[in-house]
Structures are given as C-alpha cells and as structure tokens.
Structure 1
Amino acid sequence: MTSITPKSIVMVAGEASGDLHGSHLIHALREQLGSLFICGMGGKAMRAAGAKILIDADQVAVVGITEVIAKAAQVFKAMTQLKRLLAGLRPDLLILIDFPDFNLHLAAVAKKMGIPVLYYISPQLWAWRSGRVKKIKKRVDHMAVILPFEKPFYELHDVPCTFVGHPLMDSCTGRVPVRSAAPPNIDAPVIGLLPGSRASEVNTLLVNMLKAAQNLQARIPSARFLISCAPSIDGAIIHALLENHPLNHVDISHEPVSALFPKCDLAVVASGTVTLEAAICGTPVIVTYVVSPLSYWLGRALIKVDHIGLVNLIAQNRIVPELIQKDANPQMISDTALAMISDPEKYAAVCTNLAIVRERLGLAGASANVARIAAALMK
C-alpha cells in the first residue's frame, strides 16, 4: 500500500506577534487538513504548535533603524536560508505573516519558483508607502487581512483579498463580555494606565501619566489607578517611577489587559493594538503617542491617515481622544480624563461607538478562515 506524502507549507514570521498568530494558524491548518509538514522561520509558539523551526525569529526581529543596521548580516543569512529551503523543498504553499519588507522580498522568490503565496496580516499600506501594493499584486496570490477597511483597499487594486476577522477575537480578549455603558462613580473612578510594552515607551509615557493621575487625585481623592506592567517590562522600572511620582490607591497589575480593562472605567494607553483590546472589552480610552521629534517629523511627512489609534481608524471617526506629542502632557491627559468620566452622555456615546468597532472586527475564527484559504490555494 502506497503512503500519501503530506502537503508541505513554509511559514515565515519575524516577530513575537507573528509567531503567536502563526501558532494558532498551525493548529487550525491541522484541524482542517490533518497531516501536514510545516517548517520555516518563527519562535517558541510556532515550535510548540508543531512546526519545524529552521530559523529563529529572534535573529531577525528589529525595532528602529539602528537595529536594522546591527542585524543586517543575520537578516541576509536568514533570507538566504529560506531561499534554499524553498528551492529544495518546493512546498505546496508559502505563508507569510506580517514582517513586510523581509516577506515581500521572499514572496518574489517564491513567485518565480511557481509556489503559491498567502500573506496573512497586511503591511499598513493604507498608512504609508501605498505603492507597495503593486509588488503585492505581482507576488502574492491571496491577502488575508485583519482590519475591515483593508479589504476595499486591495479590491480597488484588483488584489485577491479576504477579511478574515481579527485574531484578538479568538483570544481571551474576544471572550470578555462587553462592559456596561453606565457612567462611572465620579467620586471613586478606576483608571488604567497602560504605558506600553517597550521600556522606551514606559520611560517616555508613564511619567506624564503619573503626573496626570496626581492631578486627578487632587480633584478626586478616592480615584483608584491600575498600572499595567507588560510581560516584557521589568517591574522595577515602574516601581522606580512610581516612587518619584507617588499616588494613593494605586496597584501595579501583571495580568493580561483582557482581565485589566473590565476593571477600569477609563484607561490612558500607549497607541497600538491595545486600543483594539479596549474596544473589544468596551472600555473608553485616551490614546497617547510620543516619539522623538525626528520620528514625528518623518511620520507627519510619510503617514497619510487622519488618526493614529486603530479604534478611530476602524470607526473612521475620532471616537476616543488622541493626545500626540506635546499634547500628551499631564494637564491635557487629566483634563481629558475628567471630561470623559464626568459627562454621562459623552461616556455612553464612547461606549456605544466602541461596541460598533468590536462588531466591525468580525467574529471569532480568524485562524480557521485563513486555514480555509490555504487549503484552497493548495488544491
């Protein structure tokens, strides 16, 4: 009796978030297709899910220009290894997860070899360097996107595309019941402070958040604060900043934001995916964003969107405040927070709009939807 050779997939993720999404996708692929050989570049999560990791994503993960230069040799080595892998294995499918500059180059290599390419989690073409869509049209067979407004963008450029839903809806966050839109107790509100998942963000943003909290506590003595310490942050950093800017009724939380947000009447957050997690939980937020003057100047010149918060981008309207650069100061943060929690109508309107954003993110099942697309491409 002859054995059937299982389908083979090369999967490439270059960052921790992509590794996590890749691991969920591997489970979904095996649930739908049974026996598969999956290998490529990723991290601990993809390895634990059963992929053969030939290149560790930590070798190529970079943040900022200086790290790109420092890791150039490792990035080149990883690309060379993946090119050899594609040439030797000739997989039935190449799945690329985010990590655009690297992955779009690899997509071109696969296309020349006749290997189908599925791209999961789109580059932010809608924000900047939209001309890359021409490369995607030539190199990618199907885009699986996680933000609802990305599908019309690709359809406009005749790129096969499916909105698969947001993977957050498959996580603990997606299972959190939406909180009540009832206004908080103005005499004892609970306010979350989420300064980010990188030490540079925490050092930049938390000082102003703590000063704003002091302003609020001077006006509302019973106000309580929950400071989120991400797994990637040394708690000593937060403790040191808190010693220099002390508060009453304050706790440092190491729990996931899906557990933190439901406890908060309002949260002051660093811009990023965390704003979507707040929307899913139904917790009003104030989005803050501070970078170096040079980065901000370059961003203003290159980025072509009206909002920085993903919540506002999906709503296509500024439904939560954004305090950027000099506006992310203690007085503005505290004044904005007080205005939100002390106006029941405004507070209820924000909650209603966040519920709409949650609905637009789609239902749970992003990984399963991507797996179905993958199966179709391998037929």
Structure 2
Amino acid sequence: MMKDTPNHIMIITGEASGDMYGAMLARALEQQDPHLFLSGIGGNAMENAGVHLFAPISALSVMGLTEIIGKLPVIWQIREKVKKALVHTAPDLLVLIDFPEFNLNIAKLAKQRNIPVLYYISPKIWAWRQRRVNTIRRRVDHMAVIFPFEVPFFQQHGVPVTFVGNPLLDRIPPPVTDHRMGRLPDSPVIGLLPGSREKEITALLSPMLEAAAKIQQRIPSARFLVSCSDSIDADRFSAITGPWKSVLNMEILKGPVQPIFHQSHLLVAASGTVTLEAALYGVPMVVVYKVSPFSYSIVKRLIQVNHISLVNLIAGKTLVPELIQGDASPDIISTTALDLIQYPNRLADMQSALLGIRTTLGESGASDRTAKIALSLICSKKTDDQHCGKIAVL
C-alpha cells in the first residue's frame, strides 16, 4: 500500500552549474507532482526553487586532487549529514547531479538503504577514469545523460540510461543574427570568467587580469567585464581585483553571466559548463585551465580525450583555443586573445562554428524528461512496474 505522505526526493550537487540544473529539475518535478517534498545540497538557485537545503555547495566546491585533500574534513562532515538524512528522512529517491567524487560515495549509502538512485548529468568517465562505470553500475539505478554520445558508452557497460537532452537548451533560445563579430569594434568588450570555485579564482583570476592589462596596452579602448559567481566569497574576490580597478577599464558583474555574454565580443573563460553556455550564445572564447602541478600530473596520466573544454569535446575538434597549465599565463592569454579580437573574420568564423553546437544537443525539455524518469523510479519502487511510466532511451 502506498503511503499518504508526499513523495520525498533528495537532490545533491556540489557546483554552481549543478545548482542551476538542480533548480530547473526541482521546478519540473513540482509541476508534475505539486505535493513533492524536496531536500538536498545546493545553492541559492535550488533554495529559491523550493529545495530545503541541509548544506550549501560552497562547502563542497573544489577542483583538483590536492584541493579535495585539503577539504576532506569538511567533506566528511557533510557526508555524515547526508548519511543521517538518508537514515532519518528515508527519501523515496536520491538524485545526484555530476560531482562524482562525492556523489558516488553517497550513492553507495543510498543503495545500502534500498533508496533508488538517479544520476543526472553524468560524470565525464568517457573522458577519464573509465573504470568508474563499474561503480556506477553497482550503485546507480538509472543515468539521465545530456550528451547523445554518452548513451552507447553506458549501454555497452550494462547501465540503464536515457538521453534527456541538454538543460541549457531550456534556458538559451536560438540566438538572433549577431553582427558584433563581423566588424572590428572601436571599443571591444572582453569578458573574463574565472570560474565558480575558490581554487579557480586563486589560479586564474590574477593571470586573467594581468592579460587584460596587456590587451589594454595594445587596445586602450578595450573594456573588460569580470564575472564574480554567487558561490565565491566577495571579500576574497575584491582583494584580488581591487588593485586593478585604477589600472583597467573594467566592471565586475556579480551573479549570472548572461549579461556578459550579451555584451562581449570575446571571452576568456575557465573550462567548465560556462563554455558550453557561451557557445550556445555564439560568443567566441579562449578557454583556460589550471590546477596544482600534482593534480595535473595525475590527470595527464588518466585522461583519455584530446580536449579539456566541453565545446571542443562535443565538436570532436578544436573550435576554441585551450590554454592549459603553463600556457594559461598572462602573456599567452593576451596574445591569443589579441589574435582573435584584432581580426573580426576570425571571430565571425568561430561564432558560426559555435552556433552549430546546438544541433548536436537534442531538443529542449531535459528537465521535464528527467522529472518523469524520477517519478517513474519512485512509482516502480512502490508498485508493480506495469503501473508506472516506461523509462526508455529517447
């Protein structure tokens, strides 16, 4: 017999992009089942979407192996919070969004308590550490993936999987014709996107600002828009940017990055989901990536793809420059950016190639499809499968 209390879904993420996706999923779930109770780990977006948070993502957002080691005590405390929540609240479903180092451990705890697990936004195990698919097969009931090429990978490893489309398509309409890239701007606008994690800010913000100064020496009329994510400590951010305010023609924009996309002729962006979002807006970019030397030495041995940016991975070729580790220096960043910003035809060609990415990502409606899978998994647990919606590869 089904219980009369509302269904309870726990959603866990550890990054700003996951917070955005989690909020979109929460709203889709509430539309399909208005009586749902949602809890989890997330940020402002998930909280505003009605998710009752028992821990913030700011405590979890890390990058690189040494950075994870430094936060192990905090991560362990949050793991214990999740464990207690799984025991005492007994959610009907656990939804995990990316963030595999933490979430796959939580999946194990859920399986031990017979709580179904839906993984939304797959870890990029097709890119590196592919053996993790064996862990996923044991601990996850269903994968809701956002890239079509992920489906055959999981199928060949015996993991139930559905391609739901990419949730960014729900947020970003097809752009109208953009003439910014077809002419040399008198006052080019360059967006600096240093990332949403504290370690990214530490590694990338200063080199980006130094590169901006070099660009401004060549193009005095250049303007710079600097993104400060809501997940970043504002005082720490200001401590880095403060000395540059009298040197650079720059403006700091806190919160969503969309205003920067709309105004910029070129972006210098930390590798991550934001690069795919920029591609869907058709904004040319230079992608930068930098972690500790130890972390990178490990990653180099494990990585199984030729690119680090989502844009190039999806395209299967180099559409945007990637500056990794030592190449993410002020000199190389500025030179690479100038090679683009001074030649509008290069910007226009890149924009055209980036806009072609949309056609490879399926149809809009990813959040709605994922919500249907989530509710179907709950139904399957409580009743015979014949009474529940069928989960199929779309």
**TM-score range with shorter-chain normalisation?**
0.7 to 0.9
Report the counterpart of residue 80 of structure 1 in structure 2: 83
* Pairwise CA distance, 1:254: 3.1
Aligned counterparts, 1:16-55, within 5 A? 16-17=15-16, 18-42=18-42, 45-53=45-53, 55=54
* Pairwise CA distance, 1:179: 3.3
Q: TM-score, normalised by structure 1?
A: 0.85
Contact 2:13 2:96 in 1 (8 A): no
- Taking a change above 3 Å as real, the CA distance of residues 335 and 314 of structure 1, as seen in their structure-2 partners, is same
Contact 1:178 1:282 in 2 (8 A): no
Report the counterpart of residue 219 of structure 2 in structure 1: 220
* Pairwise CA distance, 1:133: 0.8
Q: Which runs of 5+ in 2 are unaligned?
A: 380-387, 389-394
SS at match of 1:15: coil
Aligned counterparts, 1:180-259, within 5 A? 180=179, 182-231=181-230, 232-234=232-234, 235-243=237-245, 246-247=247-248, 249-254=249-254, 256-259=256-259
Residues 212-269 of structure 1, C-alpha deviations (whole Å, 9 max, x = no match): 333333333333322223332525234424158x23x433333621111121111111
Aligned residues: 371
Report the counterpart of residue 160 of structure 2 in structure 1: 160
Contact 1:179 1:283 in 2 (8 A): no
1:3, 1:268 → 2: CA distance? 53
Instruction: Read off the aligned partner of 2:116 and give its amino acid letter.
Output: P
Aligned counterparts, 1:1-379, within 5 A? 5-6=4-5, 8-17=7-16, 18-42=18-42, 45-53=45-53, 55-57=54-56, 61=60, 63=62, 64-71=67-74, 73-85=76-88, 89=90, 91-111=91-111, 113-171=113-171, 173-174=172-173, 177=176, 179-180=178-179, 182-231=181-230, 232-234=232-234, 235-243=237-245, 246-247=247-248, 249-254=249-254, 256-377=256-377, 378=379, 379=388
* Pairwise CA distance, 1:285: 0.2
- Taking a change above 3 Å as real, the CA distance of residues 191 and 303 of structure 1, as seen in their structure-2 partners, is same
- Taking a change above 3 Å as real, the CA distance of residues 337 and 99 of structure 1, as seen in their structure-2 partners, is closer
* Pairwise CA distance, 1:315: 1.1
1:375, 1:3 → 2: CA distance? 14
Instruction: Read off the aligned partner of 1:123 and give its amino acid letter.
Output: P
Contact 1:25 1:370 in 2 (8 A): yes
1:162, 1:138 → 2: CA distance? 17
2:187, 2:322 → 1: CA distance? 24
Contact 1:270 1:288 in 2 (8 A): yes
Q: Matched residues, percent identical?
A: 46
* Pairwise CA distance, 1:206: 3.2
* Pairwise CA distance, 1:19: 4.1
* Pairwise CA distance, 1:130: 1.1
Q: Which runs of 5+ in 1 are unaligned?
A: none
* Pairwise CA distance, 1:276: 1.3
* Pairwise CA distance, 1:186: 4.8
- Taking a change above 3 Å as real, the CA distance of residues 270 and 361 of structure 1, as seen in their structure-2 partners, is same
